[in-house]
Amino acid sequence: MAVIALNRDLQGGLPFPKRVFFAYDTRNVICADADESVLDQVVGECLRLHRVFNRFSADSEISQLNRSLGRSFTCSDDVSLLLWLSLALHGESEGAFNPAIGSVCDLWDFSQERFEKPGPAQLERALACADLSKAGFSDDGSIILPEGMSLDLGGVAKGYAAERAALMLMQAGAGRGFVNFGGTIAVIGPKPDGSSWTFGLQREGSAYGESFWALLDAAEGSFATSARYYRGVEEGGVRYHHIIDPRMGHPVQNGVSEVTVHCAGAAMADALSTTLFVMGPDEGLAFASDLGAAALFRMQDGSVRASSGFPVRILEGGR
């Protein structure tokens, strides 16, 4: 939610047809050199994917899967693909990315009127349910979840939708434009004059589009940002937010304020931004580099650390 497309998006003056719609709990923009009818199809597909992955809707496939405990469930291709990517990253990251973190996320419920911190015994029980080695996965796409497990693909589903949207547009002949789903961005190609698009990293606490601390320039590739200020509550000087350290069962407290990942695909960028937030800058920058991705960390003390060549312009006084 932290990255905003500049390029006069806010004034409605983009050079190609565009669509703006709300899903994934955020504002989504599609802008490409494609027919209006193609844009409508892409929005339809993204809304369909939202209905598949939304664990806050009882009808979604992910909710049905989470209710199937102990029984074999045959997943759709979308869920199978995203689970496959998530499981691979779970292994590579030694558990920093955990798509079975739903039982723990449910305990840190920031939507309730009075926020209550979960107790140690509750957390221990929820963490035991997030042990993916207890789930059974078959090559035919069926899966058996153990009692108490709850899959949560919230760390990657928005990127998967952004990537799908960009692919659909490219398959329909688009060569220029971008998709920006609440800060998860897939760039299709450059502006009409061949130059890069510019995206703004929002200054913490500022209103949508009001102020940025850095600008990102790109004519290709994807970006995703994970930020601690996006969702959560403040209590006793501590910020409890929506990115969980699966080793502790607590919201991550490692000095990271936000992390942006730049790599080829939006699903990977989204999954990696969540992963790197958990890892912190030392481990995270090395991990990103091993995977051919680049990362930009902003720490709570205001310091910035980035992979070399990250396409960022830091703005001193904001904008």
Contact residues: ligand ADP, CB under 6 A = 1, 97-99, 101, 105, 152, 154-155, 158, 226, 230, 242-244, 246, 270, 273-274, 278
Closest contact distance (angstroms) between CB of 224 and Mg ion is: 5
| CA 297 – CA 309 distance, rounded (Å) | 14
Site for Mg ion in 261-280 (CB under 5 A): 270, 273-274
Token match 């806050």: residue?
Answer: 56
Binding mask 152-191 for Mg ion (x = CB under 5 A): ---x------------------------------------
Nearer to Mg ion, 150 or 222 (CB): 222
Nearer to Mg ion, 42 or 85 (CB): 85
Closest contact distance (angstroms) between CB of 65 and ligand ADP is: 15
Encoded tokens for 193: 């004059």
State whether residue 283 is helix, strand or coil.
helix
Nearer to ligand ADP, 17 or 284 (CB): 284
What are the beta bridge partners of residue 256? 299
Encoded tokens for 272: 């990696």
State whether residue 185 is helix, strand or coil.
strand
Closest contact distance (angstroms) between CB of 32 and ligand ADP is: 22
Q: Output Rg (C-alpha) for the chain, integer angstroms.
A: 19
Which partner from the list Mg ion, ligand ADP, none does 176 bind, CB cut-off 5 to 8 Å by kind? none
| CA 298 – CA 73 distance, rounded (Å) | 41
Closest contact distance (angstroms) between CB of 49 and ligand ADP is: 14
Nearer to ligand ADP, 61 or 270 (CB): 270
Closest contact distance (angstroms) between CB of 66 and ligand ADP is: 13
Nearer to ligand ADP, 9 or 270 (CB): 270
Task: Compute CA distances 113 → 104, 120, 241, 255, 293, whole Å.
Answer: 19, 22, 16, 27, 39
CA atoms within 13 A on the CB side of 132: 21
Task: Compute CA distances 112 → 79, 118, 249, whole Å.
Answer: 29, 13, 19
Closest by CA position to 168, among listed 41, 73, 53, 272: 41
54 binds Mg ion (CB under 5 A): no
Closest by CA position to 269, among listed 190, 112, 161: 161
> 252 and 294 in contact (C-beta within 8 Å)?
no
Nearer to ligand ADP, 26 or 41 (CB): 26
Closest by CA position to 274, among listed 184, 205, 213, 172: 184
The shares of helix, strand and coil residues in the chain, as percent rounded to the nearest 5, are 30, 25, 40
Nearer to ligand ADP, 30 or 151 (CB): 151
Closest by CA position to 267, among listed 115, 164, 116: 164
Which partner from the list ligand ADP, Mg ion, none does 180 bind, CB cut-off 5 to 8 Å by kind? none
Number of residues binding to Mg ion, judged by CB under 5 A: 4
Nearer to ligand ADP, 155 or 284 (CB): 155
Closest contact distance (angstroms) between CB of 59 and ligand ADP is: 18
Closest contact distance (angstroms) between CB of 270 and Mg ion is: 4
Closest contact distance (angstroms) between CB of 271 and Mg ion is: 6
Positions touching Mg ion (CB under 5 A) are 155, 270, 273-274
